[in-house]
Structures are given as C-alpha cells and as structure tokens.
C-alpha cells in the first residue's frame, strides 16, 4: 500500500492509546508521513516503543484520561484535530474478567465520550475506531463475517461489541465519519503485556524458561502483525470507508500450541511449554474472514505471519540485549 505523504503533511491528527502495541507503530508511520501529531496518554510507560523509538519527542503529548470529557473537548478544540485514531482501551481478557467495571469504563464510556466530542467539533473530518474479533462473540459458524451480529457475552467481548455498535450509531444517526477495523490477536514488537501468548513465549525463551500456556493449548485464534494493522487503518481512511466495519486477517487460524511451537522452532528452542489449562470465560474458536476487505478495498497484507514473527522476535532480542 502506497500512502500519499501530501494527504498527511501538517494534518492535525490525534492518536489515543499511543503507548500501546498498535499506537506506537501507528504514530511512527504518521510522523513519517508528516502529520502534526497529538497523543493523549494516561500512564507513562518508559519501555513503550513510543518512548524507546524517540517518537514521543516529536509529538504533542496531553496527559489525561479518556473519561475526562472536558479534557477531550479541549484537545479537539485547541489543536483543531482533523483526523482521529481511537485505540485507547483495556485490552486484556483476563483483566476484564477480574475487573469488568474498569474495562467497561475504558472501552465503552471512553469511546462514547470521544464520539460525542467529535460530533460537536467543527474540525473533525474522519475517525478510525479499532474494534476486535472478540466483538462477534460465540457464533454458529466460522469464520466471522461482517454481516454477523455482535454477540459478545463475556466482559471484554461485551465491551468491544458495545463500543463497536456505539461507533456505528454515531455514523448512522449523526453521519460522523467513522470507520471500524476488526482485528484478530495483534502481535509485534513493543507489546509489553506479557500475559499474551506471543510476547510471553518469546520472553520465556530468551530467559531460558519453559513457555507458559494458560489454556489447554487448543484454543484457536487469528494472529495479525501490527504493521499490517497500521496500514489497514490508513487504507480505510484513504478509501473513505465510513459507516462500515472490515475484518483484517491472514486467514490462517492457529491453535495456541501451534503458534508456540512455531516460535520455538524459529528461536531454536527445545524447552517444552507448560500447559496450565486454567482459562475460563473465553471462546474456544475465533477467526476472521477478510473477503470483504479484499473485494471492497482491494486490501492485501504486506507481511506474512512468519515474517511478522521473525521481525517481532528480532525486536524482543534487541529489547532484552540478546544477539
């Protein structure tokens, strides 16, 4: 995908969740394109890729919470924001199960506060709201398609389904120009949530430990490299795909044990994974069809799953000082 620099040069652009797995590379790409960047950051994360890469020194940083309505309205007004990428969310399923209230506040209330501020802003022209395959919940058939109803039933799944539907409501009711990518399990360098299977496995191997699998190893997921997710977000805006949701996936669902074994092979590791089989309140089979994105947007991934993993392993080796 070729992105025109002239489309972004000096464009006032807001990214929420900029220290996260998707936020950091997205900010780096937008800076490369010349956008005038503003980032709302709640927590200081010194080991985030946003900080380590030096990108944070090139953006305007607003410290605050997405639940602070006055702060969000001030940011949109004072920086005359044109384009928004809303990534801020509580993204860990286990955390949502233990503390659903904070997840609902971050993922649902934080979203409608931003959408309502955008509705009243005279400068906002477009927005990307990042959703998830988890919003689909339990379905009678797979893969997930965009015409399926959103049936989240567990706290995290419900939070993503609600926020997704609220974003759609603001388009259909108020014509707010929002577009919705739905991703599988994102992975890539800079993910510091070690409970996730890919960074957790890589860290364990680097430190000479057996990888840990929380489930029985047979849960099936989509794994999608974060750099392809960045390009997908930009493509949606280029195509002005407002009011619609699009799945993005390599269409290569894998069992958790399979992704762990692939990482072990790529890292020449003989340590056998420890299978805890302690997962509760998670759907066993989840994966996406990308047929709509391919047909309507002409989308195709830049990377393969294996290339994404190779680049990810390289990032963590550098992060931990391993040659």
DSSP 113: H
Q: Which whole-number Å values give the CA distances from 73 to 88, 102, 125, 177, 198, in the listed order?
A: 16, 22, 15, 18, 37
What total of structural domains would you count in the chain?
A: 1
Within a domain: 16: yes
pLDDT 10s digits, 26-80? 999 999 999 999 999 999 999 999 999 999 999 999 999 999 999 999 999 999 9
* pLDDT, mean of residues 86-93: 92
pLDDT at 298 exceeding the cut of 60: yes
323: pLDDT confidence band, cut at 50, 70 and 90?
Answer: confident
Higher model confidence: residue 129 or residue 43?
129
- 269's CB contacts (< 8 A; 6+ apart) are 205, 263
Within a domain: 314: no
198 within 8 A of 211, measured Cβ to Cβ:
no
pLDDT 10s digits, 176-233? 999 999 999 999 999 999 999 999 999 999 999 999 999 999 999 999 999 999 999 9
Q: What is the CA radius of gyration of the chain?
A: 19
Strands (E), 210-322: 212-213, 220-221, 223-225, 245-248, 254-255, 274-275
pLDDT at 4: 62
- For residue 118, give its domain range: 5-192+222-252+287-304
Within a domain: 49: yes
Within a domain: 26: yes
pLDDT at 3: 64
pTM of the model: 0.95
Within a domain: 138: yes
Within a domain: 114: yes
Residues recognised as catalytic:
156
Respond yes or no on whether the N-terminal peptide bond of residue 228 is cis (omega within 30° of 0): no
Tokens of 288: 């996406």
């Amino acid at each position: 995908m070729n992105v025109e620099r002239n489309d972004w040069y000096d464009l006032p652009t807001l990214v929420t969740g900029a220290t996260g797995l998707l936020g950091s590379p997205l900010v780096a790409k937008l800076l490369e394109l010349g956008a005038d960047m503003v980032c709302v950051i709640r927590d200081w994360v010194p080991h985030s890729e946003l900080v380590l890469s030096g990108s944070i020194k090139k953006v305007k940083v607003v410290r605050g919470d997405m639940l602070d309505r006055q702060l969000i309205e001030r940011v949109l007004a004072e920086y005359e924001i044109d384009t928004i990428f809303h990534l801020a969310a509580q993204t860990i399923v286990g955390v949502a199960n233990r503390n659903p209230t904070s997840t609902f506040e971050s993922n649902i209330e934080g979203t409608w506060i931003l959408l309502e501020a955008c509705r009243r802003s005279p400068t906002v022209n477009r927005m990307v709201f990042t959703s998830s395959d988890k919003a689909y919940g339990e379905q009678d058939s797979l893969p997930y398609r965009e015409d399926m109803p959103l049936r989240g039933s567990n706290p995290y799944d419900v939070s993503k389904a609600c926020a997704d539907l609220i974003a759609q409501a603001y388009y259909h009711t108020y014509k707010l120009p929002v577009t919705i990518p739905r991703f599988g399990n994102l992975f890539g360098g800079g993910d510091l949530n070690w409970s996730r299977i890919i960074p957790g496995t890589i860290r364990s191997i680097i430190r000479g430990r057996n990888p840990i699998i929380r489930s029985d190893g047979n849960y099936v997921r989509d794994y999608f490299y974060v750099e392809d997710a960045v390009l997908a977000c930009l493509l949606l805006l280029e195509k002005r795909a407002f009011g619609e949701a699009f799945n993005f996936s390599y269409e290569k669902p894998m069992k958790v044990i399979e992704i762990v074994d692939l990482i072990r092979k790529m890292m020449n590791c003989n340590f056998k994974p420890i299978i805890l089989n302690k997962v509760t309140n998670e759907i066993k089979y989840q994966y996406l069809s990308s047929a709509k994105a391919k047909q309507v947007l002409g989308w195709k991934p830049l990377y393969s799953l294996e290339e994404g993993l190779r680049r990810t392993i390289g990032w963590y080796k550098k992060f931990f000082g391993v040659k």
